[in-house]
Amino acid sequence: MSALAQAKWRGRLRVGLPSGPWRQPVVVVGTTIAALSLLLSAIGPWIVSDPLAQDAAPLLAPSTAHWFGTDELGRDVFSRVIAGTRTSVPLTLVLVFGAMSIGALLGAVAGYFGKWWDEVIMRVVDLFFAFPLTILAMAIAASLGPSLRNAVIAGIVARWPAFARVVRGAMLQARTADYVSAARLLGASPRRILAVEIARNVSGPLIVLGALEVATGMLLLSGLSFLGLGAQPPTPEWGAMVSEGSKHLAEWWVAGFPGMAILGVAVAFNVVGDALRDMLDPDTRAETEAGR
Amino acid sequence: MPGEPRARRAGRHAALGRFVARRAAGGLLLVIGITFVAFVLSNLVPADPATAALGDRASGDPEIVAAFKERYGLDEPLPVQYVNYLGRLVQGDFGPSSQTGQSVSDDLSAAIPATAELALVAIVLTLVFGIVLGTLAAIHRGRWFDQIVRVVTLLGASAPSFWLALIAFYLFFFKLGWAPPGGRLDAQEAMPPEVTGLVTVDALLNGRFATFWSALWHLLLPSFVLAAYSVSFMVRFTRSAVLEVLGSDYVLSAYAKGLPKRKVIFGHVLRAALPSVITLTGLAFATLLSGTVLVESIFSWPGIGEYAYLSSTALDLNAVMGVSIFIAVVYVIVNLVVDLLYGVVDPRIRVTG
Amino acid sequence: MRLNDVAGLRRVGTRAVALVAIGAAAFAIGACGSESDRPTGAAGASGGDAPAAKGSDTLVWAKSFDVESLDPARLHEVTGSIVTSVLYDRLMTFVGDEPTPSPMLAESYEASRDQRTFTFKLREDAVFSDGTPVTSADVVFSFRRLRNLNAAPSYLAAGIRAVEAPDRATVVIEMSEPTPGLPALVASSNFSVLNAKLVKQNGGDDSKAAVKRDTAQKFLDKTSAGSGQYTLDGYDRRSRITLAANDDYWGTAAGFRRIILKNVPTENQLLEVQKGTAQLALDLSPSQVKNVRGDVRLTTGPSVTFFFLTANTDKAVSATAADSDVQEAIRYGIDYDNLVQLVGDGAVQTPGILPSTIAGHLPADQAIRRDVERAKAALARSGIDNPKLELEYPSDFTLNGLSFGTIAQRLQSQLREVGLELELKPGPLATTLDNWRGGREQLGLWTQTPNSPAPYDFLSFCPGGDHAVRVNWDKGADATLTGACEQAAQTPLDDTAALDENFGAVQTQLNESGPFFPLFQPAQVVASASWVTNIRFSNSYFVDLAQIGHE
């Protein structure tokens, strides 16, 4: 579109057209899927038939009656996949917000107060990072007992260090930034400046990591459910559905479609996260990649 | 460095020594902390490990339960158990596994080489494919090769590994017959005499070339699946690192000076990206170890990941602790090595870090 | 700003790609073209992982390993018991699916009047794999060790007061209680007869202090010290167990020269049998084999394990569960046929608390049939508004490919139809087992696999028995039933008519009222290559490996 045409359209819509990183087709598709998953998690149950009903013949191939076929108990896989958004997506968001809150708080404390606080908190962060992700989450979920709630708790405990590190880094930068000292010299109130600068510095990486962590969280939750430590039957959850379907690999649709759902949502949020990073925080691309 | 005054060289060595010492001390503290966390975790379990290990009927017999508890030291108060555990740990004794009655150290020494072999191949794949594809994608930026690489790595970074493993096994073994069934070797193939525990290496050391090829063939599919996630990250990372450098002033001025292009790429571009690649490899290692839990069982790979999962569900406390501690220690060592290499490559870190 | 020598860079790139391609090709040629190393003597087995040819002397068995030890005095899980059933011999054995035991190392036995003392006469020609003869001293050693090791299966020998060997070929076992089922008990893999001299040389101990002194487990996990058809050739606990035919076996020769157990997760077993890389798979469920293709033979039969529902009789735990009207509602509200259908071809409803493969079981026509009206009426009589119960079950445990969750969900929807609401409470096996043993479950879903396929074990469902105390059903709760149980407990094993009559009475009473609801026996499916012959299910050892052969 020519610059003139763009300007005209912007004027009419009063809203920005996709620009920069948001213009690429991959990103558009990704954002759409992400939005769709959120939408379905809200209205899902009303638009599909009962995911728990066991009234069809088991292990039917996909057909016009059952778009994704049926599973070993005769349940419609399509309904279960759509209903699964209700389970997987909101809980992943809870996981991310939980980890973000704890992580951001501790990271901010570490970065702001420094010295002793910093040492202790960062050592704890290192401690948690030393446990490979799945094993830590698995140990926690196994100790607490398998349920979706405990899997989410396990996920929060496992992922808060990632946020803590990012926030601490941003906090340190903000504290020592030149413009802070400069503004202080000019007589502005230190607290106010700090608050504004911190918010500006931290919010970017935090939002980016949040989006990317939705993808990681989704994989973690479904992984735990696959092992039997997360969602319990008959709850339709994608990881648990893949596990059930693994006993019937020849009937590929039982495990295939839920897996594709996980893949789709993870891809979507990865893409959104990348685009957000390009928009908000392009310099830290390497850092964010490394920090996960 | 030649010509350097001795005092200065000594000073540099001292700085490096202090650096290593600091990091090692930190690592040790970390390991102790890990043992504590592992201990707490494995004792959070609400159920009685004796019931789990003995089965329904046996756990009704108080004599059997008492013998079990005595054998595994479960009748002492918790702090005492922890101290005893640390004491034995220092001697390399992880205690007996309540699943088998054999020592966890034995179980681990059997399981570790299997995962090590898998992880090593996966790391090699990560580095080779990651760096090569990433560099190529950066060079051919915007063209079809780059687009394909970006889409594929996006999928690889977002796919659930357990699902990928199932599909890969079904497709490549059952449908296409290109891959062998699970396991490190075929059922009928004799394992080579054990030297390192790595079947490929042991086979070579004993001149069993056919076994070597077979072991390698069995390694392929599981390591590919395991590496999918980290390869994707490595490619994307390398690509952006190379892109950054390609557009930098240093490179342009090198070209302007007339330096051969190949030399520029290999000389400067890759060297500039090296420190970050090293860090990323360390992280990739952690991701790989983490991924083994989900992937190993599907390929009947008798490694640590599967062992960790089986021990968690069987509430085998000694085994769970043993695995957690071992993995954490490995991670600490890998991080130490990465930090060291980083320090060697980037001297600024040594002084300040 | 574009670099103007990107073309040069691209040449570098193309060359790199070419190198990789050549490397891959070389590798592929190397891998496919080579023959794997094979130990000599495996006649007929072809290269690599190509399917084994018909008539091969090696049997590859794909099994999901749960093996913890091959020491008969320590093992208590399926894989171990099947393997030791052909590594060792026993006094008596179960041939195929026969409900009563046959002589093995013992030629005959005599039971005292009070069913307390059993005298076994050993055969003279049995020898261990190292050539030494099997004597009564070996039997005494093995049984004493089983009891004194205080390991998981020791409770099986708890009732043995003394084991004596008056001479080389006689063993006298004295029980502390009348135990008509002893001949069946000594047929279990845990009562395998070990080569006492060999085991003692390697740390074995059968004294009262065996718990501390015995160190033979490590040895027994590597070498078999038995007199069976096969010997242990290799043992890698998590991936492979190799059995080699015993050429000096005193009885019928082994059907294969080698049996190799390979650890394969359940979901991949059928794929391997179809592909030919394995020739035997035991963990499959009927629904998994429904669409099987290829050169695969399926053998199905009912398992000896049966699923049952329990209701707690303690009002303090749950007044609803303890209510006899609610119990009647459950009994007649379950749709047994629907469950059997769900579980798959070859499954059967369990007519009473004795499975259909055990001597003394009820005939199928006496099993409970669903009666929705009766169930609803019973629920109404109970006077409880909106009755709700929690159903606990292990979430991580599968049997024959069947998961408890699947059944629990079906039960939930069935009982909902008669007005009883179930809340599903899954948990890891360790936790649910704990609750079950502690008598805290409102409703429980469990399985029972007998220690020995004799009916006496199932009297644990009588008031005061092992199962009954788990639902807090104490001995005094039902005098008539207790009387019938005591009579059944004394019936000798070889008196089939009396077994049917006495055990029939017990089961009929339990079917009328009580906190136990037998559901079904799942089907066992064995998938094998079509040239493997004589696959017979066994109550004791799951599949009678001793009978297996090939065309």
pLDDT of residue C329: 93
CA C134 to chain centre: 28
- Write down the mean pLDDT value for chain B: 80
Residue B96 lies in a domain: no
Give me the mean pLDDT over the A254-270 stretch.
Answer: 91
Mean pLDDT of B289-312: 86
Q: How confident is the model at residue B265 (pLDDT cuts 50, 70, 90)?
A: low
Same domain, B198 and B306: yes
Residue of C nearest to B314 (CA): C430
Crossing angle of helices C429-437 and B49-58, in 10° steps, is: 60
Helix axes A77-113, A190-226, angle to 10 degrees: 140
Q: Tell me whether residues B44 and A144 touch, CB distance under 8 A.
A: yes
B186 close to C49: Cβ distance less than 8 angstroms: yes
Distance between CA C108 and CA C173 in Å, rounded? Answer: 14
Question: Does the distance separating the beta carbons of B177 and C158 come in below 8 Å?
Answer: no
- Has residue B46 been placed in a domain? yes
pLDDT tens per residue across span C144-167:
999 998 888 888 888 899 999 999
Q: What's the domain range around B49?
A: 3-90
Neighbours of A43 (CB within 10 A): 12
Which 306-365 residues of chain C touch chain A by CB within 8 A?
Answer: 342
Q: What span, in angstroms and rounded, lies between the C-alpha atoms of C481 and C474?
A: 12
How many CB pairs below 8 Å do chains A and B form together?
142
Domain co-membership, B173 together with B305: yes
Query: What's the average model confidence in pLDDT over C219-233?
Result: 92
Domain check: are B271 and B160 in the same one?
A: yes
Kindly state the tokens that stand for C363: 């005939």
Q: How far is CA C209 from CA B73, B311, C74, C150, C489, in A?
A: 18, 30, 16, 10, 33
Chains touching chain B, criterion 3+ CB pairs below 8 Å? A, C
Q: pLDDT over 70 for what percent of chain C? A: 89
Does residue C39 surpass a pLDDT of 60?
A: no
Locate the chain C residue with the closest alpha carbon to B134: C13
Q: Please indicate, yes or no, if residue A16 is contained in any of the structural domains.
A: no
What is the chain C residue with the closest CA to B63? C150
Residue B183 Ramachandran class (φ > 0 left, ψ -120 to 50 alpha, else beta): left
More confident residue, B45 or B317: B317
Task: Tell me what the mean pLDDT of segment C495-501 comes to.
Answer: 89
Contact at CB, A234 and C271, closer than 8 angstroms? no
Q: Are the beta carbons of C276 and C50 closer than 8 angstroms?
A: yes
Q: Kindly state whether C428 is in contact with chain A, defined as any CB-CB distance less than 8 angstroms.
A: yes
Q: How far C285 CA lies from chain A's nearest CA (Å)? A: 9
Pick among B70, B188, B211, B294 to test the C interface (most C CBs inside 10 A): B188
B34 and B62 both lie in a single domain: yes
Which residues in chain B touch residue C441, judged by CB atoms under 8 angstroms apart?
none
Residue C52 has pLDDT above 50, yes or no: yes
Q: Given pLDDT bands bounded at 50, 70 and 90, which one contains residue A9?
A: very low
pLDDT at C93 over 50: yes
Which residue numbers of A have CB closer than 8 Å to B's CBs? Answer: 26, 123, 126-127, 129-135, 138-140, 142-145, 215, 219, 222-223, 226-228, 239, 242-243, 246, 249, 252, 255-256, 259, 262-263, 266-267, 270-271, 285-286, 289-290, 292
| Chain C residues lying within 8 Å of A249, measured CB to CB | 267-268, 271
Of the residues B300, B301, B304, B317, the best mutation for testing chain C's interface (the one with the most C CB atoms within 10 Å of its CB) is B300
Q: What does the pLDDT read at residue A64?
A: 81
Instruction: Residue A286: give its domain's CATH number.
Output: 1.10.3720.10
| Predicted pLDDT at C357 | 85
The predicted pLDDT at position A29 comes to 81
Contact B190 C38 (CB under 8 A): yes
Residue A31 within any structural domain of the chain: no
pLDDT at C32 over 70: no
Domain that holds residue A108: 41-290
Dihedral over Cα of A118, A120, A125, A129: its sign: positive
- Angle (CA) B4 B9 B11, round 5°: 140
The half-sphere exposure of B113 on its side-chain side, counting CA atoms within 13 A, is 14
> Which residue, B292, B304, B309, is CA-closest to B222?
B292
Nearest C-alpha in A relative to C407: A73
Which of these ranges, B116-130, B336-350, C145-159, C276-290, has the smallest mean pLDDT? Answer: B336-350
Domain assignment present for residue A20? The answer is no
Averaged pLDDT, C374-400: 86
Phi, psi at A84, each rounded to 5°: -65, -25
Question: Per the domain annotation, does B86 fall within a domain?
Answer: yes
Look at residue B350 and tell me if it is in a domain: no
Residue A201 confidence (pLDDT): 74
**C288: burial class by Cβ within 10 Å (0-12, 13-18, 19+)?**
buried
Question: Are A180 and A197 within 8 A, CB to CB?
Answer: yes
- Band (pLDDT 50/70/90 cuts) for residue C503 is very high
Bridge partner list, A110: none
User: What are the pLDDT digits (tens) for C401-413?
Assistant: 577 888 998 999 9
The per-residue DSSP string of chain A comes to --HHHHHHHHHHHSSPPP-GGGGSHHHHHHHHHHHHHHHHHHHHHHHS--TT---SPTTPPP-SSSTT-B-TTS-BHHHHHHHHHHHHHHHHHHHHHHHHHHHHHHHHHHHHH-HHHHHHHHHHHHHHHHS-HHHHHHHHHHHH-SSHHHHHHHHHHHHHHHHHHHHHHHHHHHHH-HHHHHHHHTT--HHHHHHHHHHHHHHHHHHHHHHHHHHHHHHHHHHHHHTTSS--TTS--HHHHHHHHGGGTTSHHHHHHHHHHHHHHHHHHHHHHHHHHHHH-GGGHHHHHHH-
DSSP one-letter code for B2: T
Distance from CA of A283 to the nearest CA of B (A): 10
Residue A100 pLDDT grade (very low, low, confident, very high; cuts 50, 70, 90): very high
Four-CA torsion C279, C283, C288, C289, nearest 10 degrees: 40
Residues of chain B contacting residue A134, judged by C-beta atoms under 8 Å apart: 290-291, 293-294
- The residues, any chain, with a CB within 8 Å of residue A9's CB and separated by 6 or more, are A1, A17
How far is residue B227's CA from residue B201's CA, in Å, rounded to a whole number?
A: 21
pLDDT above 70 (res C41)? no
The single-letter DSSP state of residue B194 is P
Interchain CB distance below 8 Å, A232 and C271: no
Given a cut of 70, whether residue C7 has pLDDT beyond it is no
Residues B67 and B200 reside in one and the same domain: no
Percent of chain C, pLDDT > 90? Answer: 46
Last residue of a domain, one of B32, B67, B90: B90
Q: Same structural domain for residues B42 and B155?
A: no
Residue A190 banded pLDDT, cuts 50, 70, 90: low
pLDDT at C401: 58
Q: Which residue in the block uniquely carries the two structure tokens 């893409």?
A: A271
Altogether, the residues listed in chain C come to a count of: 551
Do B171 and B37 fall into the same domain? Answer: no
Residue B130, exposed/middle/buried by CB under 10 A (0-12, 13-18, 19+)? buried
Window from A67-81, A127-141, B197-211, C234-248 with minimum mean pLDDT: A127-141
- Structural element, H or E, at residue C120: strand C117-122
Q: Name the band, by pLDDT with cuts 50, 70 and 90, for residue A14.
A: very low
At A2 the pLDDT is 56
More confident of the two residues C199 and A62: C199
CATH code for the domain of B149: 1.10.3720.10
Query: Closest by alpha carbon to C251, among C73, C90, C143, C57?
Result: C90
Residue bearing tokens 């699943």: B99
Report how far apart the first and last C-alpha atoms of chain B are (Å, whole number): 22
- Name, in order, each residue with C-beta under 8 angstroms of A147's C-beta and a sequence gap of 6 or more: A230, A232
Q: How many CB atoms lie within 10 A of CB C203?
A: 14
Residue B339 located in a structural domain = yes
Closest CA relative to residue C233, chosen from B303, B231, B187: B187
On whether residue B352 sits in a domain, the answer given is no
| pLDDT tens digits for range A42-65 | 777 677 777 776 667 777 888 888
Question: What span, in angstroms and rounded, lies between the C-alpha atoms of B65 and B74?
Answer: 10
Whether the CB-CB separation of C143 and C90 falls below 8 Å is answered with no
CA distances in angstroms from A285 to A204, B251, B253, C302, C328, listed in the order given: 12, 21, 25, 61, 67
How many Å apart are CA A191 and CA A12, to the nearest integer? 41
Confidence of residue A184 (pLDDT cuts 50, 70, 90): low
**A254, A71 in Cβ contact below 8 A?**
yes
Question: A123: pLDDT confidence band, cut at 50, 70 and 90?
Answer: confident
Residue-wise pLDDT for B173-218, tens only, equals 988 989 898 889 888 888 888 888 888 888 888 888 888 999 999 9
- Quote the ipTM score: 0.80
- Judged by CB atoms closer than 8 Å, whether chains meet at B162 and A223 is answered as yes
Identify whether the C-beta of residue A52 lies closer than 8 Å to the C-beta of residue A75: yes
Give the count of domains, chain B.
2
Domain count, chain A: 1
**Which pLDDT score, from 0 to 100, does residue B84 have?**
81
Q: Residue A23 domain-assigned?
A: no
Section B264-293 average pLDDT: 76
Q: State the pTM of this model.
A: 0.78
Average pLDDT over residues B47-71: 69
Q: Residue A189's pLDDT is what?
A: 67
What tens digit of pLDDT does each residue of B208-260 get?
Answer: 888 899 999 999 999 999 999 889 988 988 888 777 777 777 767 777 777 76
Beta bridge partners of C510: none
Q: Would you give the distance in Å from CA C437 to the centre of its chain? A: 21
Provide, as residue numbers in chain C, all residues whose Cβ is less than 8 Å from the Cβ of B191. 236
User: Would the pLDDT of C489 be above 80?
Assistant: yes
Helix/strand/coil (H/E/C) assignment for every residue in C356-386 = CCCCCCCCHHHCCCCCHHHHHHHHHHHCCCC
Answer with the one of B61, B90, B119 that is the final residue of a domain. Answer: B90
Query: Which of A92, A118, A129, A131 should one mutate to test binding to chain B, selecting the residue with the greatest count of B CBs within 10 A?
Result: A131
Residue A247 sits at the chain C interface (C-beta within 8 Å)? yes
Residue B200 inside a domain? The answer is yes
Of C516, C391, C389, C519, nearest to C463 (Cα)? C516
Mean confidence (pLDDT) of chain C: 85
Is B221:B164 a contact under the CB 8 Å cutoff?
no
Per DSSP (E only), the strands in C177-249 are 230-236, 240-245
pLDDT of residue C16: 47
Is A276 domain-assigned? yes
Residue of A nearest to B48 (CA): A143
- Indicate whether B97 belongs to any domain: no
Question: Are residues B176 and B298 both part of a single domain?
Answer: yes
Structure tokens at A209: 């990591």
